[in-house]
Amino acid sequence: MEERDHILEVLRETKEALRRKDNIRIKNLSNEVIHNSSINQDPDVISVAVIIYSLSKLIERESYNLSFHFL
C-alpha cells in the first residue's frame, strides 16, 4: 500500500475511533504511524502521528468533553 493511501486509511480509522471515543484504538493507530514514519522519516507522517497521539490523550480524559461536530 502506498504511504499516502495508508495515512488516509489511518485517518479514516482515527475519525471512527474518535466517534466511539476509543482512546486505545487511537493510540494503536498512532503507534502504527510512528512505526512507518521511523522507517520513512517523513516529517509530515511524523506530524500526523503526533496529532493522532494527542487526540488519544484528549479522549482519555474523562473530564474533557470533546465535541466532534466537525467529523
pLDDT tens-place values along the chain, 71 residues long? 587 888 899 999 999 998 888 888 998 998 888 888 778 788 888 888 889 988 888 888 765 565 555 55
Nearest to 18 by CA among 62, 56, 61: 56
- pTM given for the model: 0.76
How many other CB atoms sit within 10 Å of the CB of residue 6? Answer: 14
> What pLDDT score does 38 carry?
77
DSSP collapsed to 3 states, 20-65: HCCHHHHHHHHHHHHHHHHHHCCHHHHHHHHHHHHHHHHHHCCCCC
